[in-house]
Chain A
Amino acid sequence: MSAPLLQAQNLSVQFGGLRAVSDVSFEIWPHEVFSLIGPNGAGKTTIFNLISNLYKPAAGRVIFQGETISHLAPYEIARLGIARTFQNIELFEHATVLQNLLVGRHCQRHSSWWQDLLFTPRVHRTELQFRRHAEEVIEFLDLQHYRDSMVVGLPYGVRKVVELGRALAMQPKLLLLDEPSSGLNVEETEEMGFWIDDIKNDLGITVIMVEHDMGLVSRVSDRVLALNQGEVLALGTAAEVQAHPGVIEAYLGGVDDE
């Protein structure tokens, strides 16, 4: 392992008087699955929003491939190769699954709006390329059956997969998954685990995920970071973190609480 893919250095953010994230630092190495765990309100999703710059950090910075990205706009972050999914699915509901995946290719477009208006041969060519790529994602995630369905008519479990597919269509270097298993049943969760393995091993994409299901976390993650009230509790393998006294206390409450 050479250099870290992503570094968070002393990240802090405040909402009014609440310190949602305070002084959090970690490093993500290429080709690893890194999980963020912690009780509700620990600041996991906030860290995601800091990486994709939906929030600006009050202090600290995020470094991606050796460059500070904290000053960039969210759409510029996407162009660097950071894709994400959302806790409460954010798909384009009145579009088909295929169209959703094609939006994922947006960063790869070369045409400007007036070329699109004329649908020049160049636009035609890239559209075919985009389609070929979207079909690869469809095959990878077994979405063939839903290709032309409107998202608005799809069940929750499928939407979750479509959202993963849309992020994969971007061919990202780093993928942020916000609770990939929430709302899924046991079988679907297991399948999600296999996909995360494949994303790491076959597609070579680094994954950061926020997850509550410890079964899934221990199965797929290389390293786990436990947070509580915006602060780092423990960092290590899943087993190490689970055995950490601070983590047990955060989840189950301390002995003195009684």
Chain B
Amino acid sequence: MRFYFRTRYEQDLRLFKDNGQKFWYGLLVIVLLLAPWLLPEYFISQLVFIWIYSVVGLGLMLLVGYTGQISMGHAAFLAMGAYTEAYLQSKGWPFVLSLASAAVVSGLTGVVVGLPALRVRGMYLAIATLAFGFIVEEAVTRADGITGGNTGMTLGSLEIFGLTIDSEQRFYYVSLAVLTLCILGVMNLMRSPTGRAFVAIRDSEISAQSMGINLARYKTIAFALSAALAGVAGALYAHKLRFLSPEQFSFLQSIELLIMIVIGGLGSIHGAIFGAAFWILAQQFIVTAKDWLPAAIGQQTGLQPTVFGIFLVAFVLFEPLGLYGRWLKIRTYLEIFPFYRKGMFKRQKSYIKSERLK
């Protein structure tokens, strides 16, 4: 464990705490920039999926992990972004504008969906957002003039400032750049008053409002930003698949997104990215495993949801902080080797209700 010797308040406002962090993140960026030249195309394609899911994950993390509002309809925001992008591209809008529009359309929808959050919470909010998810799925199917309905919609190849993004490699850089900007945005938000207001609402609404936080305003902002990020991810998703149809944005997708961030670790930016990486890699692993598993297990329908369900239960039971929590432990173990002790991350219960000793 490292102790930071701080001499100025400004040091706590920096994005990177010290040169060590700068070095490691710098190295990570270099590796990621070189990856498309070193890896086969299939892996690059999987990495692109990880970046896209990380963007949605970030959005959902902002809402669920930081503001404490639940959404079971996030696939709908993904759909809003994807179809907006596809439609505007077919009308010849440049990518930068159509991407921004996808974010805005999705964000404004988020404001509307956020309205019930001002009145209901918990289970009831989950149901309200769930209903919204179904409405959008249905609307996309019916509005076949714009979305192609069940026959689907195909996208032309992407062009940015005259450069055609026709290879997996090029699209990799586009999505990595978008993800980096989104991460920076969320980091900025979380070190400023808006982010603190989100956390305040999550932990105690009653004292948040007594501190002068306008609950309605900040819940709406959280919904809007979360939806906007999902919209951005949707736009990238549309270009990645080049084909959109309503069943890609089903209720199951929303649930999967939620499971993804819980496994990644609620309440951390790392968690959103770890969750996305886990999600994509595990899916690939299951597909591969199907071949060498005995047919009785491997060919069963519903193998993937079952495995993910088991993972979710295991994480909730044994590692509530998710992959990020596990990562913290491994890092600490390495940093202070050989002084790591098993109970180091056990919560010190210095204040518990004495009747609830367990």
Residues of A within 8 A of B (CB): 52, 54, 73-79, 83-84, 86, 90-95, 99, 102-107, 109, 111, 113, 116-119, 123-124, 126-128, 130-132, 135, 152-156, 159, 166, 170
Would A116 and B199 be within 8 Å (CB), given that A74-B210, A128-B10, A170-B211 are in contact? Answer: no
Given A106-B196, A132-B9, residue A153 in contact with residue B211 (CB < 8 A):
no
Q: Are B13's CB and A127's CB within 8 A? A: yes
Q: Which residues of A contact B9 (CB under 8 A)?
A: 128, 131-132, 135
Q: Which of B189, B202, B225, B351 has the most CB of A within 10 A?
A: B351
Q: Are B204 and A92 in contact (CB under 8 A)?
A: yes
Distance, CA A159 to CA B351, complexed state (A): 9
B115 within 8 A of A: no
Q: Is the CB of B211 within 8 A of A166?
A: yes
A154 cross-chain contacts in B, Cβ below 8 A: 350-351
**Subset of 29 A-B contacts with CB under 8 Å:** A52-B210, A86-B207, A90-B204, A90-B206, A90-B210, A92-B200, A94-B199, A94-B267, A102-B196, A103-B211, A106-B197, A106-B212, A107-B211, A113-B189, A116-B189, A116-B194, A116-B195, A117-B225, A118-B185, A123-B193, A126-B193, A127-B192, A131-B9, A135-B9, A153-B348, A153-B350, A154-B350, A155-B351, A170-B212
Interface-lining segment among B23-31, B213-221, B327-335: B213-221
The answer to whether A116 and B188 touch across the interface, beta carbons within 8 angstroms, is yes
**Interface contact B206-A86, CB-CB below 8 Å:** yes
In the complex, B347 has a CB within 8 A of chain A: yes
Given contacts A78-B212, A117-B185, A154-B350, contact A92 B192 (CB under 8 A): no
For the complex, give the distance between the alpha carbons of A109 and B348 in Å: 34
* A92-B348 in contact given A104-B211, A128-B9, A170-B212 (Cβ < 8 Å): no
Given contacts A94-B199, A118-B188, contact A156 B351 (CB under 8 A): yes
A87 to chain B, nearest CB (A): 11
Per the bound structure, the CA–CA distance linking A76 and B209 in Å amounts to: 9
Chain B proximity of A134: nearest CB distance (Å) = 9
Residues of B within 8 A of A (CB): 9-10, 12-13, 185, 188-189, 191-197, 199-200, 202-204, 206-215, 221, 225, 267, 347-348, 350-351
In the bound complex, what is the Cα–Cα distance between A245 and B191 (angstroms)? Answer: 56
Query: In the complex, which residues of chain A have a beta carbon less than 8 angstroms from the beta carbon of B195?
Result: 116
Task: Kindly list chain B residues whose C-beta atoms are within 8 Å of the C-beta of A123.
Answer: 192-193
A124, B13: Cβ atoms closer than 8 Å: yes
Query: B188's closest neighbor in chain A, by CB?
Result: A119
A99–chain B nearest beta-carbon distance, Å: 6
Give A84's nearest chain B residue, CB to CB.
B210
Contact A113 B221 (CB under 8 A): yes
| In-complex Cβ contact of A83 among B189, B191, B210 (8 A) | B210
Q: Which of B207, B267, B347 has the most CB of A within 10 A?
A: B207
Measured CB to CB, the nearest residue on chain A to B15 is A119
The answer to whether residues A99 and B194 also contact, given A90-B204, A91-B207 and a CB cut-off of 8 A, is no
Q: Which of A91, A106, A119, A131 contacts B203 (CB 8 A)?
A: A91
Residue of B nearest to A95 (CB): B199
> Whole-angstrom distance from the CB of B209 to the nearest CB of chain A?
4
Supply 6 further A-B pairs (C-beta < 8 A) apart from A95-B200, A152-B347: A78-B212, A94-B199, A106-B196, A107-B212, A116-B192, A127-B13
On chain A, the residues within 8 Å of B10 by CB distance are 128
Residue of A99, A117, A126 with highest tally of chain B CB at under 10 A: A117
